[in-house]
Structure 1
Amino acid sequence: MASSSAGIVTGLTAAALVTVGVLAHQASVAAPAGPERPRASSTPAPGAPKAPRDRRHPDALPAGSGTGERVVYSVDDDRVWLVGSGNRVRRTFRVTPSTVDPAPGAYTVTSRSNRVTGSDGVPVEHVVRFATAQGVAIGFSAAVDGSTAKPDPDERTGGVRTSRADGEAIWRFATIGQQVVVVP
């Protein structure tokens, strides 16, 4: 009798391990790339709520934009906040958005370039990249000539343009690994 119950236990254990393995595989296939790098797209997730804003202070840090040192970028408000320790806003400024937006979520700065040519052909400086959407690298940059013209809507570009002064501020603040939180 002991040998038959051992066989049953072994069979049940094997079945449980197979089930757990199948479920783990299904979860890994359906899961995003990781909590710090969600798959980005040009449209927010269906039903993604917009972070509440302070109507009396439209440049106030959006509620629900995370904690700790971070860059917060609102794609709806075309605004960036550089947030230091203690949730203190060090600087906030308006930006000119790219034609391709990152999806709301938390990212990290993956690369930086002091001076390059942007995807729109404009020489830029202080490039801070943090996402990819529709095959386009997304990042903050400042045009060397100081322009912040809206990009051609027919071109897929990823450069979120800042003034030169704001570009320098984000360059100093957002080093490799710095968190960037994108909100609607």
Structure 2
Amino acid sequence: MRLERHNLQGDYNPVKTKVVHFRMNPTCVAKQQRAEDVEQLRVECERLRDRLRKMEAGGAVTTDDTTLVIPPSQEILDLRKQMESAELKNQRLKEVFQKKIQEFRTVCYVLTGYQIDITVENQYRLTSVYAERMEDSLLFKASGAVGSGSMQLLETDFSRTLSELVDLHLFHQKSIPVFLSAVTLDLFSRQTVV
């Protein structure tokens, strides 16, 4: 009984028994076929995942022989049109603002006689239309918020030549507009003296 049980479990006596293996063992063939099927299914699954990702992105999907183009949904088309319209509107606004800013700068220059440039944050360079040289400019710095109207004259080579006007109009009268007007009159009188 014990011997029978061992024989059923695959035990054998190698001295008395010889084991023969088939060249075309059905079990080995089945295992090999199964491994090939699993590999083939894995490759196909990966290919289908790639196609699905491309479809979700709304692009063209290539198959083995053809290209499948899936048109984007109407909602995506509408959003693209809205985005293009908004970009075009934004571009037009930029152009209008640039034009208006340049127009404003020109009007300020013509009306006040000063070209105003922003050099750094909260710092402004004023160049008079009557300046003898381009380097003859005044620098003002906004102290505090720009809208508060608190400005300080920074020292430049040109502002050192205007010490009398600075003392009178900025320190005593505390008026930048009067100071700028006095500088304009002074520069104008220098040019018109014959």
TM-score (norm 1): 0.26
Instruction: Determine which structure has more spread, i.e. the larger CA radius of gyration.
Output: 2
Query: Higher helix proportion, which one?
Result: 2
Query: Higher strand proportion, which one?
Result: 1
Q: Which has the higher contact order (CA 8 A, sep 6+)?
A: 1
TM-score (norm 2): 0.25
